[in-house]
Structure 1
Amino acid sequence: MATANDDEVLEGFLCPICKADLKSANQLTSHFESLHQEEQDVLKSLKDIFGKAKKIILNTDDTDLKETFDRALKLNSQDYYPFEEQTIGVSRSSTDYFRAVRSARLERYATETNKLLIRLDKLVCNMPSEPSQRKLHEQEVVPWLDGSSVKLCPNCAKAFNLTRRKHHCRLCGSILCHDCSVFLDLNIAKAIVDPSRPQTSQAEELNEKNGLRLCEHCSYLIDLRKQVQENRNAKTVLMTAYEQMRSLMDQAKPAVAMYEKMCQSLFDGETTYNLADVNAMRGRIGKLAEGIDLLSKQIAAFPVEPATRQAKLQTAIRQAASHYIKEDLLSLRKLPTEAQIDEVRRQRYERAQKQIQLERERTERERQRRGGEAESSGSRVEGPAHDDDNPLLEQMNIIRGYIKEARKELRFEEVAILETNLKELKKEYQFQMLSNKS
């Protein structure tokens, strides 16, 4: 504390009356009680205030905390700060002013962005591929500023020289250096001016050859426009789940048709498919049904206001998915047993053997009819010395390998085509064998 006579600053446990330094709080209290009796009321009031504050903080007072606090506030307000009810004065709403300022700012940004988009559309449309013609095309769309009097880059304030050349923004025509340039890929620019254009997945290096040179301000406005388009075209969680469910339904439809075809092949006794193939296809259909059921439940459980149009739509989607699973995916034809398949194939084999026997008899009659003509003309075809050298056997082995790979990957449409080719080769091989024997 500073004394009244000079600017000397005193520190320590000072007596507020005589300014004596008592070195400790206890000595200061004893000194004040013994030498300054007339100030005891002030000390007592200070002790009461600190005591009540301590009790309130520690919550050791028996009285209610809220009542004590209200009473203390009321006492202090009456003694030191008389309460006066404040009247409400004149008020004014600034909402219209804020809206006007905001609208003007948004209008300025919107107008400037639309102007840049129009220029960008003209730049990317019919852009020449040759660099010299492209530069002329860019200058025709956006006039470039005269940089003869510009000595420094407006963005980084660095001087232009032989190594730091002057460049122009392709959208506003302003001058900047290469380090302050931002390049916009032409594919992205075309997607901005035409959102329906499919975007390419290949990421190209952004440089002067395949990008538009922009300043930071124009690049910022173009990026804002791109973000608005992306947010507008962004799909909701509900839409994403519905599209995934429809994709699974599209996969399940041909899978069910293939399953029916495979079952019918087993019932007909054909060897194109076996029971393991059909069981694998049935398991695939089961997994698709589980995925459709899970996604439809997620759609139905999506939070929405009850009794609204969206709530009815979500319920209808769930009911349609349940009906589709029950009627189309779970009501598949029952598979035949191994005994039934063996019996059908045995009967089919016997019919095939009878057909082969008839074919042999017909070939034998034909051979006897031609008889000596073939021997006299020397046109008899000699069979190969070894069957292993027959190219048909090699082709059949290759096709069997393809069939094995297709079965492993559940490509049963390809299995059917390969099995058909294998049967044709077997018939051709049997015909050759019969011809050689004859």
Structure 2
Amino acid sequence: MDLENVSCPICLRKFDNLQALNKHLDVEHGFNDNEDSLGSNEGSMANGKATKVSSNVDKVQKLKRSHWEKFQKGKSHCQACGRALNNEIGAINCKKCGKLHCRRHLPNMIKLDLSARYEPEHGKWYNCCHDCFVNKPGYNDYGKAIDLTQEFFKLRNMKKEDKNLRLLQLENRFVRLVNGLITLYNKYNGSIIYNLKMNNEMSKLERTVTPWRDDRSVLYCNICSEPFGLLLRKHHCRLCGMIVCDNAYRNCSNQIDIGYLVSAASDLPFDYDIEKNSLSEIPVSVRLCSHCISMIFVGRKFSKDVEMPLSGIFAKYESMQNISKVIDSLLPIFEDSLNNLKLETVKDSKRVPDPKNLNELARLRHKLLGSFNLYNTLTRQLICIEPRNHVERQLQNSIKTASAAYINEKILPLKSLPAILNPEGPKTQKDEPEVKKLSQLMIENLTIKEVKELRQELMVLKEQSYLIESTIQDYKKQRRLEEIVTLNKNLEELHSRIHTVQSKLGDNGFS
């Protein structure tokens, strides 16, 4: 009995019966390994239809199989999991690469042409392995890329030009307004009718600098969008003419004295000098919105802050950063050279290391220890600086902790030349000068130079130990328990290294 509405498990195509599905699997997907399966048995059917079908199938071009790996019983293994292939596990060729896989590791589908090449448009669906599926063209691509850099530059320049024009317009209005107000003040100062005349003339001048928006048509603040009412008054910005509120919390507008405004924008071409004309004493103020204040004064304030000298803590920290860059650049070179010498010595234990390489290692090590010492000195100087405010105090504590962790991480791998480099074997008169030269670089002999370097390292380690201990005490007061655990581990490593250096120094250590 034929099944109805069966579908292909590979391409999901529907068929009327099971026979049509089997033919589809054999022809389209290559499941019929026996090319002679459509032979005389089907051709000898009584009605002759089978012979016609067989001849049509022979004309259909099949997928290329010459690259398929042949199955060998007991020898073939799955290319993905390595299991031996048999009838239970299955042995299926990837239709693209041809390698044998078990059923579990051949789950993907890919479109191929008859030559087993990837053809996403006109190809047909076939099973393939994971490698062929992920390595097909376009699998890891991000799609078509369009370079819009030039369009972005045009838009940015247009906005920048608009911003510059707007800034220039506000600056010209600001200069006219300030010059006019100072002129009116000098004109009516000391007059009996100062208040009457001054207020009237100021109102006229402000309206000539920029047109004011009609307040009758405005119901909401131009910045915070709050509705005006009995408790929220309307005010005009003297530079842009927009209507804003005077709420102190939202800070949409402020009444600012002329003296402060002129000192904040002293680079503008005013007719009056703030020092010669004593502008700070003029009792005249101007209402400006927050947008105009930001536009005119924020950039100038930032430039002045950048030009100001750094505080003591920031200056020391910048110096520490420069020293840390030197350490980070030299330390990998030292470790690579030392590892290369170790490998050479391990391969040939009788081989004497090149004195030039040893001298270069000693030079790098000496330079690194000097950099660590300078870094530690800068840290101590930074800690001794008295912070000006609470923020600087927090910053100082953070830098102290980071400095201790940095030195603890970097200085421990910085070891002296290993004892494995010490040449072994009988010493001849010919080798004595070379051995003597090499022995000056070995820890076991402890020359004066080595004692100095070990003392220097011991001093840095003890200083870092003291810094971490003081930091732990501070963190205990602040109940920062998680960070105390990390610092205790760093402190144990430092103590271990201190003990090692002190044992090497012996009587040559600090008293």
Q: TM exceeds 0.5?
A: no
Pair member with larger Rg: 1
Q: TM-score, normalised by structure 2?
A: 0.28
Answer 1 or 2: higher relative contact order, Cα 8 Å, separation at least 6.
1
Q: TM-score, normalised by structure 1?
A: 0.32
User: Which structure's residues are more often helix, by fraction?
Assistant: 1
